[in-house]
Structure 1
Amino acid sequence: MAGGSGGPAGGPRRRGREIALQVLFQWEAAGNPLEAGLEWAAGEYNPGEEVLAFAADLAGGVTRHRLDIDGLIARYARDWDLERLARVDRNILRLGIYELLYAGRPDVPPPVAINEAVELAKRYSSEDAARFINGILGQLARDRGLAGEGRAAAPATAGQDGPAGGVTAGDGGSGAALPAPMTAGPVPAPGAVPGSGEPGGSI
């Protein structure tokens, strides 16, 4: 896999989700077309047609339903303005909500969609963000009668399960940095604290 050991890992679906997250991050940060992001990912990681097609389906689905998805995030992220969320957390939530409500994949039941979003947050953001995302998706699943055996948590509120530190949309989020060869500026390196002035980096 090109790009080193920090690239997308795991099974085909998980790799596809990671690539979709990277493409959406670049799309929002620098206005890069999804097609350009997917082309970059194909050259950087050589993920194979199945993985790339899954990533394209996810990223395209998120952008098609973005207004509705963002409305749900604003509703469920109580006391958190959408733009205050770190860009990486916002796009993980978008992916999770898309898989939960819009993707229509019977082989990805709600508990799996929630768990995969939580795992993305653990890898690319922080444990606090993972709990926050789990809370929002879990509550949404319960409200839609989709919770089942999911790892649902209490709804996230500011000061409760919200991401620690109140990172802003201009931050890459804490934890592992997303690849940023096409973004407008550096993304915090793994372990860097947003706003700390530490140099950015990429996987």
Structure 2
Amino acid sequence: MPNVRHRARIAAMQTLYELDLTDHPLEPTLERRIADEALSAEGADFARRIARGAWELRHEIDAIIEQAAPHWPLYQMPPIEKAILRLAIWELLYNKHDPAPMKAVINEAVELGKHFGGANSGRFINGVLGTVVKTRLA
């Protein structure tokens, strides 16, 4: 199951990244990413749920990011980090259907940041999510 969710998070993250940089519509972009990742039915359902949830609530989530990282305006933030943070914050705060453990969500986000982002992405993502957890879930 962890591998299924990891691959689903990658597809969802790539979808959010693409949507942020283009005017492509959500559904065809998401379905293409799911197909590219060759996800199982379970993985595809999870990717759809988290990508749709994070995209639909992006304005609310972006406000949370801005509060947690006041020295990094969203317009200056690398789009990949923004996509990862949107997904992770959606999972931490809004995923009521089948929530993952908080530490698992944060670890996954940090790993995605290390793999897809810049040299300091993992540390930055960890710091922002730590602040979100302290201020929103404590």
Same fold (TM over 0.5): yes
Q: Which residue does 1:50 correspond to in 2?
A: 42
Within the alignment, does 1:132 sit opposite 2:124 as a pair? Answer: yes
Name the CA shift for 1:107/1:80 in 2 (closer, same or farther; >3 Å).
Answer: closer
8 Å contact 1:20–1:58 — kept in the other structure? yes
Q: Which residue of 2 aligns with 1:93?
A: 85
Match of 2:107 among 99, 108, 115: 115
Residue among 58, 61, 70 paired with 1:78:
70
- Aligned residue pair count: 137
Kindly tell me: are residues 52 and 138 of structure 1, through their superposed partners in 2, closer, same or farther at Cα, counting changes over 3 Å? same
**Alpha-carbon separation, structure 1, partners of 2:13 and 2:105:** 14
8 Å Cα contact 2:17/2:83 also seen in 1: yes
Distance of aligned partners of 1:57 and 1:30 in 2 relative to their CA distance in 1, 3 Å threshold: same
Inter-partner Cα distance in structure 2 for 1:132 and 1:102: 22
Kept in 2, the 8 Å contact 1:38–1:52? The answer is no
Instruction: Give the AA of the match of 1:121.
Output: G
- One-letter amino acid matched to 1:142: K
Within 2, Cα distance between the matches of 1:42 and 1:75?
32
User: Equivalent residue of 1:11, what SS?
Assistant: helix
**1:112 to partner: Cα distance:** 1.3
Do residues 33 (structure 1) and 34 (structure 2) align?
A: no
Deviates more, 1:92-101 or 1:103-112: 103-112
Relative to the length of structure 2, the TM-score reads 0.91
Shift of 1:105: 4.8
Q: Distance in 2 between matches of 1:125 and 1:41?
A: 18
Identity of aligned residues (%): 36
* Bigger Rg, which one: 1
CA offsets 1:43-78 (integer angstroms, 9 cap, x no match): 323212111111110110011211110001111112
Gaps of 5+ in 1: 1-9, 147-203
Which residue of structure 1 aligns with residue 4 of structure 2? 12
Q: Which moved more, 1:127-136 or 1:105-114?
A: 105-114
The whole-number CA distance in structure 2 between the counterparts of 1:64 and 1:107 is 18
Alignment match of 2:51 (pick from 48, 53, 59) = 59
CA RMSD in angstroms, aligned pairs only: 1.6
Contact between 1:76 and 1:140, CA under 8 Å: does it hold in 2?
A: yes
Task: Please state which structure has a larger fraction of its residues in helix.
Answer: 2
TM-score (norm 1): 0.63
Is the contact made by 2:12 and 2:47 (CA closer than 8 Å) also made in structure 1? Answer: yes
Give the equivalent residue in structure 1 for 2:60.
68
Higher relative contact order (CA 8 A, sep 6+): 2
